[in-house]
Structure 1
Amino acid sequence: MEVSRAVESSQHAVSSPSGIFVASLTPRYLLIYSSRTREMHLSFPLHAGDPKPSQITSIQWSSTSSYILLLSPQRILLFSVAEPDRRIKVDNGSAGFGILAWAEFVCVEGQDEQVVVGWEFGRVKAWDLGTGRGVEIGEVKTVTKGRTYEVRKGDGVRALALLSRPAAHDVLTLHLPPLYTPRLTTLPTTDAKSISWSSDGAWLAVVDTPLARPALHIYTADGNLFRTCNVAATSAMSGLDEDDDLGLSIKSIAWSPSTNFLAVGGFDSRITLLSTRTFAPVVVLEHTPAIDLTSITQGTVWQETVAASGARSYDPAPQPVSPPTSPDKDSTDPSKLGVAEMRFNCDGSLAATRDESMPSTIWIWDLLSLSPRTVIIQHAAVKSLCWHPSQASLLLIQCHGDDAVIYLWDARSEQGPQICSLPLGNGRVSAKWLSTARDCKPVILASTRTAWVLLYPAGRDLFPQPDPDELRVRRPVQEVAPDVDEDSLLDALMGKTPLRGMQDPMHSDGMDRTGEGLDDTFWGKKHAEVVSS
């Protein structure tokens, strides 16, 4: 394994979706490095009134890797990779709606031209980066820990779904660029907790409070109810009486990349796989307290041991084996119960899961045979699981208390995970895969708040010296969509028809025009401009 030299930073480094760039903060600059050459490609100076690195809560890349966003409680800064002289600010003004809580790019026709901003108390507003105008698009639900907003995945229009509760009922609102409101749907939920688009953008799942029956509602891409699912009833598939299952139901859900399954994790340590054709249950996967794979798949249980000297190793555990349980296993706190994490690999053939009652145990499921394939028992509680974005067999594991160590497991091997020590000293480490092509060697970006490195588990690829134009992301020419008759929202969502009114997206009735004086704010000037809320 090769490790690059450490680069100083004042915040966790973030790689671009393309894998070409790495963004890193210092007290005075936002620096953009080439992930291939590890040389600095661009630098953006931070001005006296800008947030300090310690105040930055999030660094985000746009989906086309053309913009970088720095989020702080009082200000948002946006920088253009294609136009380094271009700098955009969104100020919080008097902070009447609380601090700036989140921000999300919305891609329009392959261009990241709009940013959606959410405030602490639920207000949501969209900013057009081309004109500098803001549009009020409603409020989002804030009294829940689930994800209450999400941009549509897949081909076609990147619709924004918002979950709100303006009165006594939950409401699902779908917003299409240029961010008017085409559909408002009142939900049959008691207290909806989260929403989630499918991998292909064809379905939208709404999860109700764990006490509700049914707790899962499936909607089409244009906001029509398709089916409600009482996942608790699938307990009968495991030999239990449905009437005996009176506890909490759904804790989390996850869509498979192949769109074959919707995985529903329960508070009862079970995962129900629903077919995305009918959303009927296919199989129930259970995290059992005693693990014995010999009678099912002849799979191996790998257990990590740490010697007194600190040396780590993996050995096959004799089966059946009972992994360590959480000291809060019998707690009534819902956060200490149920399936905490479900991660599909890039082709949907494998899934890695973890249950709160066994925090150091990772289950690897074969979704072709619908059975457990491998179990990995870590020495410490698992913090995160991450599959490689293009190589389906590689799993990255991080554990609590092991900040200087990460683990790599290859499903093609017959060995336990590979143990990788990080030359980053003390501090909380964040490790993510760098996006690479399927035929390229894998790369990991590992960072703390003081430095970052690139790890090459299989060695480095030898790239030729890149052309400067190869690294520079250039803005595509925006074509004006022709004026067409109204089509169905479903056709627009699926990308079958262009959207009406793209010529002048901010001049529709009901939109906030407080920014009328900001015409040509960003395109006609090269110095920093300010947009106030």
Structure 2
Amino acid sequence: MEISQRHEGARGTISPSGSLVAHSSNSKLRPATLLSHSSIRTAAKEVSTLKWSSDSANIAIVSNKLVEVQAVEGHAHPTRIENGSGSLGRFVGADFVGRHHLLTSWEFGRAKIWDLSTGKGTDLGDLKTTCDEPAWQQRPESTGDIRTVALLTRLAAEDTLTMHFPELSTSMQPLKLPTVDAKSMSWSPDGRWLAVLDTATASPSVYFYTPDAHQYRSYPSAANLEGDGCLGVKAINWSADSRVVALSRYDGTVVLLNTITFTPLAVIKHTTTVEQSNLPPHQQTPIWREAVSASNERSYALASQPVSPPLSRTKPTIEPVELGVAEASFSSNGSYLATRDERMLSTVWIWNVATLAAHAVVMQHSNVRKAQWHPTRASLVILDCGEGIAYLYDVATSSAPLAVNAPLPGSPTLSWVHTAAESKLAILAAARSSFWILYPEGAESVSDDARAGVEVGGELFEEGASEDSLLDILSGRKPALPYEIEESYTKMVELEMGEADEGADVAFDDTFREKKKADTDAVDPLDDSQIF
């Protein structure tokens, strides 16, 4: 195994292509190839989120008062969306919609979608702020279709669903949802279905909609409402081929639905005791148990049955207890499903979706933080137990999991780097202020030119340095490239205000709507954010 050099910086994020990793450090954005390290200056301070575009060509840097879009390659100037006086609260999220649009949201629920080629912003209204996930979900891209963004809002104690089309700068009429308090929504990978998850106490718990916001099915159906007072669905997970959707429940079961009629295929249950003695040996599910020696060497052995996975809590406490399924995720081809139960967090169950039966059980020495499937090797899963050890398990073989020990300080979070199936494995190990790249099979051999890295971000922009306003460039008041250094837009406004102060008294507008009625039709006075 090989380990890259330590990179200092927070929020290490892998690009969708898997060829770049970005992180922030000392007001700098540092995009780098997996074998090199380069940086560009950014004006954003206290960066909260880094968001890649789907083509890995741009990255959005989100901070409380600024969202900055940087091109990774070339000499394009950064596009900056400022928060103005902050009357809408701080920026809390941003997401690329295609190549030329960016959606931003504020902490009080307001959202806008910006056309990065024209600088025009379209108000999307008030998004729901009590969701478990972002209140917008972009429909997966498909050839020939207009891009669609589903928006979840709540007005007058009622949930509403809106389909917005950025290229057309228009939206469908908002649809009132039958939900009590919608918690999340998700598109199927093929973009044919949108699932809306209601609060756990509601029944039905899940509603399925077509892309034109037509309600198709609900679960459980009206003819089979539960009505027993139990908590319902906790999370929704789609298979990569969109043929199956898994509903994780608070009672510890996982319901598999087909995506044609949305009727149950199977109900998965996690038992506290595994007993297969009555089955022939070749039909028994292998149960791998990790053992740790006094010298900290780790190995696996098949557990004899019956066997009881260790419980997460052995003594009663006053702390609230999590219920139901802790995690459920499909492999990249939808053939396998990995699940964990909140009662047995150190045990990972692997299910065969074709046979609807248990394929394997892995009992770790420590609780598992995350089980993540490789994006291209469909049968390979990594188990992260917060120990700096990558547990690799190829479920298609009869071999035991492999513990790849990385001598890294702390307990970095492990995640796959997107690589081709024929390429060697790469794992991102990200700590709070640094990260490494692990190569369990050794690093790929590359040429000297590739090791030199790629040019990123164009010129370095020092903090406080001026930059061209995108709107001024498009209107012809400033040249695009090459350009001359001029005062920034904000500085020019300050100079104009200073000149006005010398000759006459200036009446400052209040931010309330009734103070200056002449401008209310032109701009929302509560929204003074600008794009540059």
1:430 Cα deviation after fit: 2.4
Partner of 1:444: 427
Contact (CA 8 Å) 1:139, 1:164: kept in 2 or not? yes
Query: Structure 2 counterpart of 1:116, which letter?
Result: L
Change (3 A) 1:441 1:368: same
1:23 Cα deviation after fit: 1.6
Instruction: Return the alpha-carbon distance in structure 1 between the equivalents of residues 489 and 28 of structure 2.
Output: 18
Partner of 2:21: 22
Q: Deviations over 1:13-51 (max 9, x none)?
A: 22211112122333253222222xx123x421235xx30
> Which of 387, 402, 413 is the equivalent residue of 1:418?
402
Contact (CA 8 Å) 1:10, 1:26: kept in 2 or not? yes
> Which of 155, 172, 179 is the equivalent residue of 1:182?
172
Contact (CA 8 Å) 2:9, 2:435: kept in 1 or not? no
Matches within 5 A, 1:256-405: 256-292=239-275, 295=279, 297-327=283-313, 336-400=322-386, 402=387, 404-405=388-389
Change (3 A) 1:365 1:227: same
Matches within 5 A, 1:160-171: 160-171=149-160
Partner of 1:2: 2
Instruction: Return the alpha-carbon distance in structure 2 between the equivalents of residues 21 and 396 of structure 1.
Output: 21
> Normalised by the size of structure 2, how large is the TM-score?
0.81
Partner of 2:122: 135
Q: Which runs of 5+ in 2 are unaligned?
A: 458-469, 491-527
1:246 Cα deviation after fit: 2.8
Partner of 1:409: 393
Partner of 2:65: 74
Instruction: Return the alpha-carbon distance in structure 2 between the equivalents of residues 448 and 291 of structure 1.
Output: 36
Change (3 A) 1:415 1:117: same
> Any idea what SS the aligned residue of 2:89 has?
coil
Matches within 5 A, 1:185-204: 185-204=175-194
Partner of 2:199: 209
Query: Structure 1 counterpart of 2:170, which letter?
Result: Y
> Any idea what SS the aligned residue of 1:336 has?
coil
Query: Structure 2 counterpart of 1:416, which letter?
Result: A
Instruction: Return the alpha-carbon distance in structure 1 between the equivalents of residues 147 and 319 of structure 2.
Output: 37
Contact (CA 8 Å) 1:329, 1:357: kept in 2 or not? no
Contact (CA 8 Å) 1:99, 1:120: kept in 2 or not? yes
1:154 Cα deviation after fit: 4.0
1:397 Cα deviation after fit: 1.3
> Which of 108, 118, 124 is the equivalent residue of 1:121?
108
Change (3 A) 1:146 1:82: closer
Instruction: Return the alpha-carbon distance in structure 1 between the equivalents of residues 489 and 373 of structure 2.
Output: 40
Query: Structure 1 counterpart of 2:398, which letter?
Result: E
Contact (CA 8 Å) 2:39, 2:456: kept in 1 or not? no
1:223 Cα deviation after fit: 0.7
> Normalised by the size of structure 1, how large is the TM-score?
0.81
Partner of 1:61: 52
Q: Please provide the CA RMSD for this pair.
A: 3.0
Query: Structure 1 counterpart of 2:444, which letter?
Result: D
Partner of 1:434: 417
Bigger Cα Rg: 2
Contact (CA 8 Å) 1:88, 1:529: kept in 2 or not? no
Q: Deviations over 1:50-69 (max 9, x none)?
A: 30xxx222112110111111
Q: Which runs of 5+ in 1 are unaligned?
A: 236-241, 475-514
Change (3 A) 1:233 1:128: same
1:449 Cα deviation after fit: 3.2
Report sequence identity in percent.
36
Q: Does 1:532 align with 2:524?
A: no
Contact (CA 8 Å) 1:445, 1:455: kept in 2 or not? yes
> Any idea what SS the aligned residue of 1:165 has?
strand
> Which of 96, 100, 117 is the equivalent residue of 2:87?
96
Change (3 A) 1:167 1:333: farther
User: What is the total number of aligned residue pairs between the two structures?
Assistant: 470
Instruction: Return the alpha-carbon distance in structure 2 between the equivalents of residues 275 and 398 of structure 1.
Output: 30
Q: Does 1:87 align with 2:70?
A: no
> Which has the higher mean CA deviation after the structures are superposed, 259-268 or 132-141?
132-141
Partner of 2:210: 220
> Which has the higher mean CA deviation after the structures are superposed, 128-137 or 216-225?
128-137
Query: Structure 1 counterpart of 2:120, which letter?
Result: R
Partner of 1:43: 39
Query: Structure 2 counterpart of 1:92, which letter?
Result: N
1:392 Cα deviation after fit: 0.3
Partner of 2:445: 462
Change (3 A) 1:412 1:520: farther
Change (3 A) 1:247 1:333: farther
1:468 Cα deviation after fit: 11
1:520 Cα deviation after fit: 5.2
Instruction: Return the alpha-carbon distance in structure 2 between the equivalents of residues 434 and 24 of structure 1.
Output: 15
Query: Structure 2 counterpart of 1:205, which letter?
Result: A
> Any idea what SS the aligned residue of 2:256 has?
strand
